[in-house]
Amino acid sequence: MASITKELAFKGFPFIRIYQDGKVERLIESPHVPPSDQDPETGVSSKDITISHNPSISARLYLPNLPQNQTQKLPILVYFHGGAFCIESAFSLHAHCFLNRLVSEAQVAAVSVEYRLAPENPLPLAYEDSWATLQWVASHSNNQELDGKKDPWLAKFGDFDRLYIGGDSAGGNIAHNLAMKAGLERLCGGVKVLGAFLSHPYFWGSKPIRSEPKGEDFEKTLEYKAWDVVYPSAPGGIDNPMVNPAGEGAPSLAGLGCSKLLMCVAGKDQLRDRGVWYCDLVRESGWKGEVELFEVEGEEHCFHLGSETETENVKKLLKRLASFLV
């Protein structure tokens, strides 16, 4: 076997191994699961669709259990899964179970994006795939035919005045960067992003803040090492504005292209301080929207994913997200 050239690990436990011959071995991933006509626990329906063949972009769509005569439109959530940009999937068990619960609780239509993963497909490709999907969703606001590619769920039930984006961990980072892009570029049909939630988002930088590890320990963190693996050509490295919103040359957060923002953090998460700091940056920027910080104390990073049972704290988070997605 070819020797390992790089290993991305957290607390000594590897996420991925990259070999000299280019092979990538993913060591931590939840299994892929199929969509469901009707989830037995929540009644939520899901299906997989192809958005683009070149590049290859797909998604899993979710719809809550609705009465047959349903005419009321639903908020739309475009969701980005986590996994350090290099593991997990829109089709994974973790993302699927979470979205079944959230879609049922919030009564929203959701689009979970299957973006390309690093290191085979390094950033910024995940951002580009996610933006292309957001544009595809927005294009459904136009009543004209989409060359036969209009999805009936979005066309019939989607309320394009209530379009949201959100994600967990790396997905929260994607949501931030798409909100910034939406502030600069027009979405199809003139659709606006109403709100964004960033759940335990991945932000970092070259210098520790607040309670983060200091000195050599800081440079040994997964958060520090991962960026070079997933975006080796990033200008400015770990201080690139896409991962460090206060990095050199970063655009003002006053340009966020949404009207409200929900930051979710967990008390025991190493990324917690960055989330709180991000909210401070947004408030100091003069952004005209509404920003709220929601913290669940005593919990680890993305505690709500992979939990087969709904603990009280998982329920608390789901209810807060659902009240945001209105």
Decide if 58 contacts 136 (C-beta within 8 A): no
3-class state of residue 99 by DSSP: helix
Catalytic choice (269, 285, 307, 323)? 269
φ/ψ of residue 8, rounded to 5: -100, 115
DSSP secondary structure letters along 214-239: -THHHHTSHHHHHHHHH-TT-TTGGG
Distance CA 319, CA 306 (A): 18
Question: For the chain, what is the largest distance between any 2 Cα atoms, rounded to a whole number of angstroms?
Answer: 61
Grouping H, G, I as helix, E, B as strand and the rest as coil, residue 325 is coil
Strand partners, 78: 111, 165
Active-site annotation holds for 36: no
Active site residue 48: no
| Cα radius of gyration (the chain) | 19
User: 4 φ, ψ to 5°?
Assistant: -75, 135
Which position among 30, 130, 169, 199 bears the catalytic label?
169
Task: Kindly give, in sequence order, each residue whose CB lies less than 8 Å from that of residue 171, ignoring residues fewer than 6 positions away.
Answer: 79, 80, 81, 82, 199, 201
In 10 A of CB 25, how many CB atoms? Answer: 13
Backbone φ and ψ for 168, nearest 5 degrees, come out as -110, 135
Q: Hey, which residues are catalytic here?
A: 169, 269
